[in-house]
Amino acid sequence: MRKTIKIPGEKIVKDIKRATRKQYSSEEKIRIVLDGLRGEDSMNGTGFFGGFNS
């Protein structure tokens, strides 16, 4: 089995992304799920999956 060695720059970028990613509270997660079940908002409109808006 061959192990890949991470380039330090890639590790730094991953650490930054991990530290700056949006943290959703329990209430916000419940609101997003309920809105999705109601069908009022599309999943793209909620921004839950990284803010992709079509």
For residue range 1-37, list pLDDT tens digits in order: 566 666 788 888 888 888 888 888 999 999 989 998 9
* pLDDT > 80? residue 48: no
Per-residue pLDDT at 28: 94
Per-residue pLDDT at 21: 82
The band of 54, judged by pLDDT with boundaries at 50, 70 and 90, is very low
What is the distance in angstroms between the CA of the first residue and the CA of the last residue of the chain? 41
31: closest CA among 18, 19, 46, 16? 46
What's the pTM? 0.40
Q: Residue 47 and residue 54: Cα distance in Å, rounded?
A: 11
